[in-house]
Amino acid sequence: MQSTIQRTGVRCIALLSVFMPVAAMAQQFDVERATRAYLDLLQGPARSQSDAYFEGGYWLILWSTLVTCLAYWLVLATGFSAWLRTWATGRTRRPALATMLYALGLTLVTTIITLPWTIYTGFVREAQYGLMSQSFALWSFDQLKALVIALIVTPLAFASIYAAIRRTPRFWWAWGAGLTWGFVLLASAVLPVLIAPLFFTMSELPAGPLRERVVKMARAHEIPAEHIYVADLSRQTKRISANVSGLGPTVQITLADNLISRTSSDEVAAVMGHEMGHYVLGHVWRNAAWYAVLFLIMFLAVARVTPAIIARHPRWRIEGVYDVASAPALLLVATLVMALATPFENAIVRSAETEADAFGLDVARQPDAFALIAIRLSEYRKLEPGHFEEMLFFDHPSGETRIRRAMQWKKDHVPGATMIKPVLPSS
């Protein structure tokens, strides 16, 4: 019996000698060292430029808010809003049509007032940081198309909200929030089929290994994959992107051509796993629920504050909130509320992005490719922010956070995970 015990012991020791190296390798995988190896890929002038670009965005929140509020204040203080109201009501006896005419005029005028700021933030600054791919003429044409869309949507939104103000003066803010929420959902539904094609050329992803990989991932999670589109984002910017957009019958998968040309197949799979996570986890509807709350708070604040502002400025010649000439005052207060709500709005989006990251890692199983994507995105997102900086200003997890989570996932889920020396392929 003793010899049997000895033989059993020898066998156990032999088995342990086989499995111990694997266990030791897993224990040797250092998440912090692996994370730092990726973070060090973005250094020197490239890191400085990325930080400067993103940190400048913090100030853009403030300055954009001030520029927008100034535009609305000028329209009110000069009496233009009251004049435009009088002009619109003189053209038709129907309140809805008069409201829509007013909305057309207000949209055009405020667009002109803020045009220099729009050119700086949308074109000049992007070109300064090497992110702009199109000429000023082509950029301007895209802005013109966006203006045309605004001239269609804004009058409809104004007519709906002012109808609610006139019919339910006590609770119009609740109706206004609901109507705005409805417009946002409608925009989400029509974005891939009606709006995106106005700005990008959409073509089918060619047959081949990449398409087969994306289709397999989509079908495994019951995501419609009859059509997988490629958008020519490269004609506008060097950024990489992909999405699963739309609602119900309009859901579609779209990859930016930059993503395909600048990254490997594994990186594309990592990105698509993330984007599919938004669809599978129902983030569109969950985020919509949070935005419904945000809109309610915003409209309630507007309904409480705006009447007092109007009462203090009789020279504006506005009769009350129900007067369409009050629109710039309503929008001014709404702009301030939304600016103050930026951290809350960022938290809503960042929470969904974090969940989608986890889903994508589980689906694609490409932690190193995911880390490389985080570095590529950090060409225009600050890579290593402070804790409170990330909490206040980031609507996505920072590159550092994403890489560390990817490396932790690698340690936890990849048998015998080993340290590698990452290399960012040129693109």
pLDDT at 25: 42
Span 11-16, average pLDDT: 39
> What average pLDDT does the chain have?
92
pLDDT at 332: 98
Q: pLDDT band at residue 424, thresholds of 50, 70 and 90?
A: confident
Q: What whole-number percentage of the chain has pLDDT above 70?
A: 93
Span 300-329, average pLDDT: 96
pLDDT digits (tens, 9 = 90+) for 66-87: 999 999 999 999 999 999 999 9
Q: Can you read off the two tokens belonging to residue 224?
A: 């419609």
| Domain extent listing, the chain | 65-198+284-341
Q: pLDDT band at residue 28, thresholds of 50, 70 and 90?
A: confident
pLDDT at 226: 87
Q: pLDDT band at residue 27, thresholds of 50, 70 and 90?
A: low
pLDDT at 102 over 50: yes
Label each residue of the chain as H, E or C.
Answer: CHHHHHHHHHHHHHHHHHHHHHHHHHHHCCHHHHHHHHHCCCCHHHHHHHHHHHHHHHHHHHHHHHHHHHHHHHHHHCCHHHHHHHHHHHHCCCHHHHHHHHHHHHHHHHHHHCHHHHHHHHHHHHHHCCCECCCHHHHHHHHHHHHHHHHHHHHHHHHHHHHHHHHCCCCHHHHHHHHHHHHHHHHHHHHHHHHHHHHCCEEECCCCHHHHHHHHHHHHCCCCCCCEEEECHHHCECCCCEEEECCHHHCEEEEEHHHHHHCCHHHHHHHHHHHHHHHHCCHHHHHHHHHHHHHHHHHHHHHHHHHHHHHCCHHHCCCCCCCHHHHHHHHHHHHHHHHHCHHHHHHHHHHHHHHHHHHHHHHHCCHHHHHHHHHHHCCCCCCCCCHHHHHHHCCCCCHHHHHHHHHHHHHHHCCCCCCCCCCCCCC
pLDDT digits (tens, 9 = 90+) for 162-171: 999 999 999 9
In this structure, the strands spanning 228-231 and 202-204 are: antiparallel
Span 118-132, average pLDDT: 96
Of 386 and 25, the structure prediction assigns the larger pLDDT to 386
Span 302-318, average pLDDT: 96
Class of residue 107 by CB neighbours under 10 A (exposed 0-12, middle 13-18, buried 19+): middle
pLDDT digits (tens, 9 = 90+) for 217-264: 999 999 998 889 999 999 999 999 999 999 888 999 999 999 999 999
Among the listed residues 333, 227, 225, 354, the one whose alpha carbon sits nearest the alpha carbon of residue 283: 354
pTM, to two decimals? 0.88
pLDDT at 13: 37
State phi, psi for 226 to the nearest 5 degrees: -65, -35
pLDDT digits (tens, 9 = 90+) for 357-385: 999 999 999 999 999 999 999 999 999 99
Rounded CA separation 54/378 (Å): 9
